């Protein structure tokens, strides 16, 4: 459960939770976010099948009233607007629901935020785990934070901050 004044809101628009494999991958990632501690608030955006039950099970706030296009795809602008509206943190991070985050993520966000107010973090590449994730068994690799460039771009994780 986040503190009343978290540093960071992580939000995502997950796929439906109906396929057991997709559910496991998303559960692992979202559980890793919850284990980042009191500095983090987690929001799930959308009303895909199984999301309400998952959000309830994990104790995460679901923002179901996302606007969609005529094909039923959630609008990115609506996802971000809802996250801004319900966030209680100065930093927002959109993270794909299959990305496991490690504690250094919050440390790096805090470090960069002290240096610049507006910045973007972006990285591609992932290795989804196929077993249930747990904080006790996770093997964490070290991450080094560096000072962002004058363009306020910091490359170290898979997300975007405001």
- C-alpha distances (whole Å) from 139 to each of 2, 9, 34, 84, 135 are 24, 24, 17, 32, 9
C-alpha span between 154 and 112 (Å, rounded): 8
**pLDDT tens digits along 52-79:** 999 999 999 999 999 999 999 999 999 9
Determine the average pLDDT of the residues in 41-49.
Answer: 97
Q: Is the pLDDT of residue 39 over 50?
A: yes
The C-alpha angle 144, 145, 147, rounded to 5 degrees, equals 140
Judged by phi (left if over 0) then psi (alpha if -120 to 50, else beta), residue 124 lies in beta
Count helices and strands in the chain by DSSP H and E runs: 4, 6
pTM confidence score? 0.76
Domain boundaries, the chain: 8-154
Is residue 154 a contact partner of residue 107, using CB atoms and an 8 Å limit?
A: no
Q: Is the pLDDT of residue 128 over 60?
A: no
> In the prediction, which pLDDT does 125 show?
54
C-alpha span between 17 and 124 (Å, rounded): 23
> In the prediction, which pLDDT does 33 show?
96
- Which candidate, 93, 125, 97, places its Cα nearest to that of 23? 97
Determine the average pLDDT of the residues in 129-141.
Answer: 55
């Amino acid at each position: 459960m986040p503190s009343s004044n978290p540093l960071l809101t992580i939000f995502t628009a997950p796929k439906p939770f109906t396929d057991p494999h997709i559910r496991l991958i998303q559960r692992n990632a979202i559980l890793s976010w919850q284990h980042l501690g009191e500095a983090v608030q987690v929001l799930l955006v959308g009303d895909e099948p199984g999301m309400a039950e998952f959000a309830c099970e994990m104790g995460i706030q679901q923002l179901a009233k996302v606007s969609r296009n005529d094909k039923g795809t959630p609008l990115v602008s609506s996802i971000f607007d809802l996250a801004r509206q319900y966030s209680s943190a100065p930093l927002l991070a959109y993270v794909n629901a299959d990305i496991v985050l490690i504690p250094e993520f919050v440390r790096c966000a805090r470090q960069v935020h002290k240096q610049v107010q507006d910045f973007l973090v972006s990285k591609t590449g992932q290795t989804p785990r196929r077993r249930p994730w747990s904080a006790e068994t996770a093997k964490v690799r070290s991450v080094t934070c560096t000072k962002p460039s004058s363009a306020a771009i910091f490359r170290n994780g898979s997300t975007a901050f405001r």
